[in-house]
Structure 1
Amino acid sequence: MGKLGDRARGSREKGEGWKVGPARRRGVLIGGAVGVVAIVTAGVVVLTSGNEAPASDAAPSGTAGPVAVDPTAVVTEYLQDLAEANPDAAGALTDDPAAAAVALRDARNALMPAKTTATLSRLDPTPAGAAKTGGTFAMTWTLRPGKTWTYDVPFELTKAAQGWRLHWVPALLHPKLEQGQRLVAATGPADRPAVVDRDGKPLVMAGQAGNKPAEGNPAPLLQSAFAAQATTAKADGFAVQRADASGKNLETLYGQDEGSDGKPLTASLSVATQNAAQSAVDGYQGKAIMVVLQPSTGDLLAVAQNAAAGTEPKAFSGLYAPGSIFKIVTATAALEQGLATADTALPCPGSDQIGTRTIPNENRFDKGTIPLHQAFAFSCNTTFGRLASRLPADGLVKAADQYGLNADFDIPGLQTEAGKVVSATGNDRLVEDGIGQGDVQVSPFGAALMAATAASGKAVTPKLWHGLDTTVAKPYSPPSAGVLGAVRSMMREVVTTGTGKAAAGAGQVHGKTGTAEFGADGQANGWFVGYRGDVAFAVLLEGANDSNPAVSLAAKFLNAIH
């Protein structure tokens, strides 16, 4: 009776531990009886090999391979060859010997197993005359101490002129492998998200080389904050990956989270909102900064700064003269002190001498006598300078406190300063403070906090993390509901009929524009702060000399997040 397997075995390559061994024969009979090389019990064949030297009997190049008329014999022999690290012999038992041998050898060279075990779990019955059958075997790789990888592999057998053969597909190595893909080993953990946004999108990846920004580098201003909180992957991780022809990891098949420190941290940021904010500031030619908060939660949704504005995180602690956006505070103080209501008629001349200060409107526009809400919408410096002159020395400080401009927060990973508003040292300074041109200072972060407070009607605690609390070192309390109702109405009018009309097409936007002079040459920064629904924002354009570009930039951002 003929035999299967009387052939030369290929030698193992140095580095994989293969050795040239003495030739030996295995008596696997064509009829399916299995001799000394396999144990057959209850339909299960278990074939195991460690680091012992296998027999070496590879068939001469170009031969058709062994002949077998029995499916059990051919699959048993294939599993034996897998276990004994003989890819040429195993490949010869498939219908594509060359491709199978290359793939099997590549997998062993990549994974460098200390031991392999192949177990026939199921072989379908083969009716007389059938030319196809199938089954399942279990493949076990002992990759290193404590790391044993086992999985099931479905297979198909077909009958051809030379006998039964396994149908070769990459899935015979692993059921998820497709054409053009291979198994690779990562000596460290596969890159994994170390920080994700509120929707689970990656912000920071942890890998063998440490932490790095996720693709596209979302929120570059926050990367240092992320790095301060995120843990790095452990160096002793191990993973088996499914990779494409270029080596790109498509999926981690074994070792997922091996060497990692668990679940990623979740930041309050929204990648979609962040991308919209970054796109808006990047589209501006000058220096642009934007901060976006969610009023209901205090979540920091986005912080963006373009290249022209530099890499220093000015958004969080850069203090600037607020200009007319500070009229939100001045209006609040006037309402609380009973100096006016939103409908009180007040003069808005083109220029006004208040104490020793001459206060002009922009381009000296003159509106005559108009209600306070219109003076707010048109941003009448003369009206608000006159109101400020009637306030007590600490009137603006108390109102600013209610918007969080003097509050203090300890946000893990961030250094922030909302603003600096102190009691005026004299009436002239009080007048200048009232139009945001005196000693008062606000950061873009503080301006967004002011807008978020106006929107929510409560003290907002800004957050960068879900699961890491912000410590409120100095709390604040918001204005009364009645005062905030009037302020919100005036902020809406700014957009419908006032200086913020460029944002009218972006929905129910409430806002306040501002320009603030700085330096000796008369240059000015442009501001626009406000909210729409549950999104509060602050835009600062350094040296813009006008607030209109800030309004347009905000509208671009808001339209992008509809």
Structure 2
Amino acid sequence: MTTHRGQVRGRGRRRRWPAVAVAGVLVAGAAGWAVAYGPLKPGAEGPVVADPEAVRTAKAFLGRWAAGDLAAAGRLTDAPEKAEQTLRNFTAGLEIAKPVLTAGAARAEGEAGARLAFAARMPVAGLGTWSYGSELALARTDAGWRVRWELPLIHPQLNDKQRFKLVQEESEELAAVDRDGKPISAAEHPSLVSVLGLGGGTPRGEVQVVDRVTGEAKGTAVRFGPDPGKGGGPLRTTIDARTQRAAEEALARHARGRSAGLVALRIDTGEVVAVVNGPSGGFNRAFQGTYAPGSTWKVVTSAALLAKGAVTPRSRVDCPKYLTVGKQFHNVETSEIPDATFRQDFIQSCNTAFVALRGRLANDEMTVFAKEYFGLGPEWKTGVSSVDAEVPVPADEPEKAASLFGQGRLRTNPLAMASVTATAVSGTFHQPLLVKGTEQPEVATKPLPAGVVAGLRSLMRDTVTDGSAKVLAGVPGEVGAKTGTAEVTEDGNNNGWLVAYDGEIAVACVVEGAESGSGSAGPVLRDLLNELAG
């Protein structure tokens, strides 16, 4: 594991927590879609390029499959009827509502063949998301390119000898302890009911690999929901009871019945010390929500720009009321900052300035940067069911412009954004962990340059003292933050975001149906951080 850079210091009361070494997990995700730098033909030079028509056919097949148009998906294969029937049985038998299928890299196989990798995220009703990777084989036929129909394309473990079976059950009452080994209960921490299964009755289950003939279970493809502690003992968590209690009280006080989610984790290890949802005991938005992150994503965009030397905090980047890139972009309340510096753009959260900087980053640069430095994209293992962040390559210039300030097809949740904040202010990604003992192979991320970390901490600190997060200005210690207001519909309510850090924790909060991040999530984090400061 790489060493810390830019140690974060605070002046509030320190929370004494024992250090636990945490490693990460790396699962191949989707990145790029036309060229793969794979094996070359003998004597060939450069990458093996797949025929663009093959790529289009593969992406069309994935699109029809994801949309539920299985007859159309079948027609793009060399076995239309069989493909349609199998896809229909697979989706219905596992209670998968709407798959999310993301095309990855493609490579040629001779003159008449190609292969394209893809990432699959299958939402299993009432349980969670099943994420895995697979691959399509394509062949050139008289009718054009077609997907070669074979069972493993649906999932690598699916074949003519074994299939999948969904097994569901309700969890029994679960004994769990906090990071200090003290019991935690549903009565004391109602938000942990849906997260850990405290109190029992929480849905859980697994997708089993079974023999097609005998039905005998051969293994488990994915498991959902809480597991009892190993060896029959209590579930050992990383929760800090004091932080959890303070977070639950702050969210209940200020969310005022609106749906919301909050995650706080340790900057130095990634251990989750609090996870709260509103309403408590309801859907686990904090870990399983899928939200556009709004302007909190400018932390990642700024890191990429600073690391590349594309800007400095003193660079002049104008902030006009409007900027048109295929569509018109504007700032909150159509504000403007003439002759602004990048520092002003960041701390006042100017969207148009970030749109204007789109030409300084390649189309896939944010996708690659978010994965390599922030660990976003690969599957995370926290010990409970969670949904991973999605940072797709933009399809066009308007989408690229929107993605730089956290809109477009970006999808995150408080778990991901708390981790983003911790990485930004420490320089090192630590995969979040909630259940101790969860197997987490090391994730291959790079440390952020020390200058980038210093720049981000300064910008986030200035956002509290002089910018859009002044709601936290009275909190003791060196607190930094970034606000975000994410549009859900053009004429509907927004989602209000705020991410922040103090000397030891990074925290992210989203409140649905809000007017702004500072106005909705701001009071929640203010009360939480004040309580933890003493």
What TM-score does the superposition give when structure 2 sets the normalisation length? 0.58
User: 1:496 pairs with 461, 465, 481, which one?
Assistant: 465
Q: After TM superposition, give the deviation of residue 194 of structure 1 in Å.
A: 3.5
Q: After TM superposition, give the deviation of residue 395 of structure 1 in Å.
A: 1.7
User: 2:292 pairs with 308, 313, 321, which one?
Assistant: 321
Work out the CA distance in 2 between the residues paired with 1:311 and 1:475.
Answer: 34
Q: Deviations over 1:348-387 (max 9, x none)?
A: 112222x322211111112111221121000011111111
| Aligned equivalent of 2:528 | 557
Q: After TM superposition, give the deviation of residue 446 of structure 1 in Å.
A: 0.4
Report if aligned partners of 1:417, 1:446 keep a CA contact under 8 Å in 2: no
| Aligned equivalent of 1:476 | 445
Residues 156-175 of structure 1: pairs in structure 2 closer than 5 A: none
Residues 1:198 and 2:179 are matched in the alignment: yes
Work out the CA distance in 2 between the residues paired with 1:263 and 1:321.
Answer: 39
Work out the CA distance in 1 between the residues paired with 2:375 and 2:515.
Answer: 27
Q: After TM superposition, give the deviation of residue 201 of structure 1 in Å.
A: 2.3
Q: After TM superposition, give the deviation of residue 497 of structure 1 in Å.
A: 0.4
In the superposition, relative to structure 1, how do residues 262 and 352 fare at CA in structure 2: closer, same or farther (>3 Å)?
closer
Q: After TM superposition, give the deviation of residue 475 of structure 1 in Å.
A: 4.2
In the superposition, relative to structure 1, how do residues 310 and 267 fare at CA in structure 2: closer, same or farther (>3 Å)?
closer
Q: After TM superposition, give the deviation of residue 310 of structure 1 in Å.
A: 6.8
Unaligned runs of 5+ in 1: 1-191, 205-212, 233-260
Q: Which amino acid aligns with 1:320?
A: Y
Work out the CA distance in 2 between the residues paired with 1:533 and 1:370.
Answer: 30
Work out the CA distance in 2 between the residues paired with 1:193 and 1:442.
Answer: 29
In the superposition, relative to structure 1, how do residues 334 and 195 fare at CA in structure 2: closer, same or farther (>3 Å)?
same
In the superposition, relative to structure 1, how do residues 340 and 225 fare at CA in structure 2: closer, same or farther (>3 Å)?
farther
Work out the CA distance in 1 between the residues paired with 2:475 and 2:359.
Answer: 36
Residues 421-460 of structure 1: pairs in structure 2 closer than 5 A: 421-460=391-430
Q: Which amino acid aligns with 2:446?
A: S
Partner of 1:221, secondary structure, is helix
Residues 1:545 and 2:519 are matched in the alignment: no
| Aligned equivalent of 1:222 | 195
| Aligned equivalent of 2:9 | none
Partner of 2:497, secondary structure, is strand
Q: Deviations over 1:93-141 (max 9, x none)?
A: xxxxxxxxxxxxxxxxxxxxxxxxxxxxxxxxxxxxxxxxxxxxxxxxx
| Aligned equivalent of 1:331 | 302
Aligned residue pairs total 331
Bigger Rg, structure 1 or 2: 1
In the superposition, relative to structure 1, how do residues 281 and 422 fare at CA in structure 2: closer, same or farther (>3 Å)?
same
Work out the CA distance in 2 between the residues paired with 1:416 and 1:304.
Answer: 14
- Choose between structure 1 and 2: higher strand proportion: 1
After superposition, the CA RMSD in angstroms is 2.4
Partner of 1:292, secondary structure, is strand
Work out the CA distance in 2 between the residues paired with 1:520 and 1:374.
Answer: 26
Report if aligned partners of 2:175, 2:198 keep a CA contact under 8 Å in 1: no
| Aligned equivalent of 2:323 | 352
Report if aligned partners of 1:393, 1:424 keep a CA contact under 8 Å in 2: yes
Work out the CA distance in 1 between the residues paired with 2:405 and 2:188.
Answer: 43
Report if aligned partners of 1:462, 1:470 keep a CA contact under 8 Å in 2: no
Work out the CA distance in 2 between the residues paired with 1:264 and 1:310.
Answer: 20
In the superposition, relative to structure 1, how do residues 215 and 497 fare at CA in structure 2: closer, same or farther (>3 Å)?
closer
Larger relative contact order (Cα-Cα within 8 Å, sequence gap ≥ 6) = 2
| Aligned equivalent of 1:410 | 381
Work out the CA distance in 2 between the residues paired with 1:501 and 1:444.
Answer: 21
Work out the CA distance in 1 between the residues paired with 2:188 and 2:313.
Answer: 49
Work out the CA distance in 2 between the residues paired with 1:553 and 1:281.
Answer: 6
Report if aligned partners of 2:193, 2:281 keep a CA contact under 8 Å in 1: no
Report if aligned partners of 1:406, 1:418 keep a CA contact under 8 Å in 2: yes
Q: After TM superposition, give the deviation of residue 216 of structure 1 in Å.
A: 5.4
| Aligned equivalent of 1:17 | none
Q: After TM superposition, give the deviation of residue 317 of structure 1 in Å.
A: 2.0
Work out the CA distance in 1 between the residues paired with 2:451 and 2:368.
Answer: 17
What TM-score does the superposition give when structure 1 sets the normalisation length? 0.56
Work out the CA distance in 2 between the residues paired with 1:218 and 1:363.
Answer: 35
Unaligned runs of 5+ in 2: 1-172, 201-225
Q: Which amino acid aligns with 1:294?
A: R
Report if aligned partners of 1:410, 1:472 keep a CA contact under 8 Å in 2: no
Work out the CA distance in 2 between the residues paired with 1:217 and 1:458.
Answer: 32
Report if aligned partners of 1:461, 1:470 keep a CA contact under 8 Å in 2: no
In the superposition, relative to structure 1, how do residues 315 and 362 fare at CA in structure 2: closer, same or farther (>3 Å)?
same
| Aligned equivalent of 1:183 | none
Q: Which amino acid aligns with 2:266?
A: Q
Q: After TM superposition, give the deviation of residue 321 of structure 1 in Å.
A: 0.7
Work out the CA distance in 1 between the residues paired with 2:386 and 2:442.
Answer: 12
| Aligned equivalent of 1:270 | 240
Report if aligned partners of 1:193, 1:203 keep a CA contact under 8 Å in 2: no
